[in-house]
Amino acid sequence: MITQLQKDKTLAQYAGFIQQTIDFKALVSTNGLPVTSHLQTLQTAFKSQIFQKLLAVDKGLKMRFDLLKTDEARVNLIDAHVDLDGYQDVEQMRNRLLVLEQQYNTISLGYPAGSLRSLVPFEVFADRYNLDLPGLLNGLVFDWTGKEAVRDYMESLLALLAPVLPLFQATYTGSLGFTNALTHLASYYKTDMQTGEVRADEAAVFNLAKLVEKKGAAALVPTVTK
């Protein structure tokens, strides 16, 4: 699953790829062919179209074709009468399909989703999703329906916790990121072993107050309304 932000970034980053999928679908549509990742399927369908035109003008060939009992025999007859060499559209479809697969396999969704191909192989992207990258990504975005309260609460906590980072960075020796700041925050609280009550560790907080004074960081301490 991915976030809405990851989806938007991916669509912007791979806008060129999306245009190439549109161009490819236009090419196969112009030739009355299905969108698929299988070149053999495209070639077979293209041959069948040409062969149908031959049947329309060659009654003897049509009679032979109608008398055949198996699909294999019909395919062999088509192959014997239709050669795709020289058809530029077939060559374009072959080349474009190869490029699309190569580029698709490079699409990264970022952490933690990783590469798109690990979630949806190119064959599935082409055959099931019709080479529709926006449509595919829409289905991968987190659906928060019924879960909004949890999301909103966790986001509200961020507004309370965000000021902790600059305060600790000003009073902490060494590098300190947000995740480590939260771990450091826990060191200013202790749990009563008998009651299980969590409260501020007065000695630790007092030492922090002295550091704030020493570092001249009083402006970084948010005002608390009691």
Residue 225 lies in a domain: no
Residue 119 lies in a domain: yes
If asked whether residues 168 and 91 sit together in one domain, one would say: no
If asked whether residues 61 and 113 sit together in one domain, one would say: yes
Tokens of 61: 């060939």
Residue 43: exposed, middle, or buried by beta-carbon count in 10 A (0-12, 13-18, 19+)?
A: middle
What φ, ψ does residue 198 adopt, rounded to 5°?
-100, 130
- What lies within 8 Å, CB to CB, of 19 at 6+ separation is none
Residue 93 lies in a domain: yes
CA distance 210 to 195: 30
If asked whether residues 92 and 157 sit together in one domain, one would say: no
If asked whether residues 85 and 193 sit together in one domain, one would say: no
Of 93, 108, 138, the domain-final residue? 138
- Is omega for the bond preceding 134 within 30 degrees of 0, making it cis? no
Of all helices (H) and strands (E), which one includes residue 115?
Answer: none
Residue 122 lies in a domain: yes
Number of domains comprising the chain = 2
Residue 198 lies in a domain: yes
If asked whether residues 126 and 164 sit together in one domain, one would say: no
Residue whose C-alpha is closest to residue 163's, from 195, 133, 192, 185: 185
- Residue-range definition of the domain harbouring residue 91: 4-138
Residue whose C-alpha is closest to residue 116's, from 124, 125, 107: 107
User: Which pTM was predicted?
Assistant: 0.70
Angle CA 73–78–83, to nearest 5: 140
Give the three-class secondary structure for 216: coil
If asked whether residues 106 and 72 sit together in one domain, one would say: yes
CA distance 95 to 133: 20
What is the full per-residue pLDDT of the chain (226 aa) written as tens digits?
899 999 999 999 999 999 999 999 999 888 888 899 888 888 887 777 777 777 777 787 777 877 778 878 877 777 777 776 767 788 888 899 999 999 999 999 988 888 999 999 999 999 999 999 999 999 999 999 999 999 999 999 988 888 888 999 888 877 788 888 888 899 999 998 889 999 999 999 999 999 999 999 999 998 887 7
If asked whether residues 76 and 107 sit together in one domain, one would say: yes
If asked whether residues 180 and 201 sit together in one domain, one would say: yes
If asked whether residues 107 and 215 sit together in one domain, one would say: no
